[in-house]
Amino acid sequence: AHCLPILPPPGTEQDKDVAEMYLKRFYNLTEQRGRVFHRGVSPLGEKLSEMQRFFRLKVTGTLDSDTLQVMKKPRCGVPDVSQ
């Protein structure tokens, strides 16, 4: 029997790309490859929490619909954290 790859629900991979691009642009997320987890939290999770804290969303460190909704809103191109 050939096992087929279980495709992620539509949009998930794309949403993750949106999130990574957003966090790189506005929250100083650096390249993901080989990055060390701090206290079990990935750099992406850390930056997600930072963004959720800034926008007074539920701080989960995971990409929930409210967080994604904010990421898709038109905005200023200046980062939210000083670079």
Partner 1 sequence: YTTFPGNLKWPTNKLTYRIENYTPDMSVSEVDSVIEKALQVWARVTPLRFTRIYSGTADIMVSFGTREHGDYYPFDGPDGTLAHAFPPAAGIGGDAHFDDDETFTFQSSNGYNLFLVAAHEFGHSMGLSHSNDPGALMYPVYSYSDPNSFSLPQDDVNGIQFLYGKNPDVNPGDPDPEPPTTPDACDPNLVLDAVATLRGEQMFFKGRFFWRIYPQSGEAVQSLIKNFWPEVPDNLDAAYESQETDRVYLFKGQKVWAISGYDLVRGYPKSISSMGLPKTVKKVSAALYEEHSGKTLFFVDKHYYSYDEARQTMDSGFPKLVEDGFPGFRGKVTAAFQNSGFTYLFKGPHVFEYSSRSKRLYRVLGNSYFLRC
Interface ranges with partner 1 (CB under 8 A): 25-26, 54-58, 66, 70, 73-78, 80, 82
Closest approach, Cβ 74 to partner 1, in A, equals 5
Closest approach, Cβ 20 to partner 1, in A, equals 14
- In the complex with partner 1, the residue whose CB is nearer, 6 or 76, is 76
Q: How far apart are CA 81 and CA 50, in angstroms?
A: 9
- In the complex with partner 1, the residue whose CB is nearer, 45 or 70, is 70
DSSP 34-66: TPPPBTTB-HHHHHHHHHHHHTT----SS--HH
- In the complex with partner 1, the residue whose CB is nearer, 37 or 81, is 81
Residue of 46, 32, 57, 35 whose CA lies nearest to 81: 46
Kind and range of the H or E run holding 27 = helix 12-27
Closest approach, Cβ 24 to partner 1, in A, equals 12
